[in-house]
């Protein structure tokens, strides 16, 4: 005869097992997400030398690059091998695609494998520079059918003609939330006085330069910036860098 008390005990144990299985499953799922998003190593060459720029304040770091800050940061050639700005940009090419505006050092900084053509020149990255574009492998295959003669062709982006100068290989992973289909030159004015903060800035440390050495160099740069733009950097604020991390969903206001 089945004992009611025993049945209740068995049911109770069964519930416990269910909750235990659920807990293990949830923990496994969370770890899988963390492992995929945070722990998976970057595919960039020497990723430990890639850093993000920001402003240090008494209240904590303040992110977002401006043209004036970027122009100072990219002049710190004693500490940095490459410095690049980037921001998302909506682009229409037959369909709405994911574009990103970058400064000329971007591809070298991240070790992008260019399988055809080239990336942007310094002249193309200046204001009023030529309208050129670098395509992702996916866009090249999807919209140009992998045309081996795509380099030098003119395509219409947002109604304006752009010349295709390069195609990036399929293995290039930007680690961005939305992988770009196309890259356009940022064309930041080296003499700009625009202090609007709306993009991100990455750098690659020179071989042999430590994070502390770079921070020391940037503190001096911050003093020069404060002298040039007295109201744009607080007396207790400075410039800093930190190891590059997987981009979050944080976004800055985009400007067309």
Answer yes or no: are the C-beta atoms of 139 and 172 closer than 8 Å: no
Q: Distance between the two ends of the chain, CA-based, in angstroms?
A: 79
Supply the pTM of this predicted model. Answer: 0.79
State the DSSP H helix or E strand holding residue 138, giving kind and residue range, or none if neither: helix 137-144
Is pLDDT above 50 for 18?
A: no
pLDDT band at 201 (very low <50, low <70, confident <90, very high): very high
Distance of CA 192 to the CA centre of its chain: 22
* Statement: residue 27 has pLDDT above 70: no
Who contacts 159 (Cβ-Cβ below 8 Å, separation ≥6)? Answer: 92
Nearest to 251 by CA among 128, 114, 86, 141: 86
pLDDT the model gives residue 51: 97
pLDDT of 24 over the 80 cut: no
């Amino acid at each position: 005869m089945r004992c009611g008390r025993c049945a209740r005990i068995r049911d109770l144990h069964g519930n416990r097992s269910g909750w235990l299985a659920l807990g293990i499953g949830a923990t496994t799922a969370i770890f899988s997400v963390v492992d995929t998003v945070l722990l998976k190593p970057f595919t960039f060459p020497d990723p430990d030398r890639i850093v993000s720029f920001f402003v240090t304040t008494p209240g904590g770091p303040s992110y977002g690059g401006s043209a004036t800050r970027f122009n100072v940061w990219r002049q710190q050639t004693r500490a940095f091998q490459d410095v690049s700005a980037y921001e998302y940009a909506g682009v229409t090419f037959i369909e709405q695609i994911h574009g990103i505006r970058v400064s000329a050092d971007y591809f070298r900084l991240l070790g992008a494998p260019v399988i055809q053509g080239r990336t942007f020149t310094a002249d193309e990255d200046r204001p009023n520079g030529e309208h050129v574009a670098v395509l992702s492998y996916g866009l090249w295959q999807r919209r140009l059918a992998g045309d081996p003669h795509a380099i030098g062709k003119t395509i219409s982006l947002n109604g304006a003609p752009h010349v295709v100068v390069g195609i990036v290989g399929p293995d290039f992973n930007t680690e961005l939330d939305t992988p770009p289909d196309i890259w356009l030159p940022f064309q930041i004015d080296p003499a700009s006085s625009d202090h609007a903060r709306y993009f991100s800035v990455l750098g690659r440390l020179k071989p042999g330069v430590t994070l502390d050495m770079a921070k020391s160099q940037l503190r001096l740069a911050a003093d020069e910036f404060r002298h040039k733009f007295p109201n744009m950097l607080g007396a207790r604020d400075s410039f800093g860098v930190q190891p590059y991390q997987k981009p979050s969903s944080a976004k800055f206001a985009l400007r067309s």
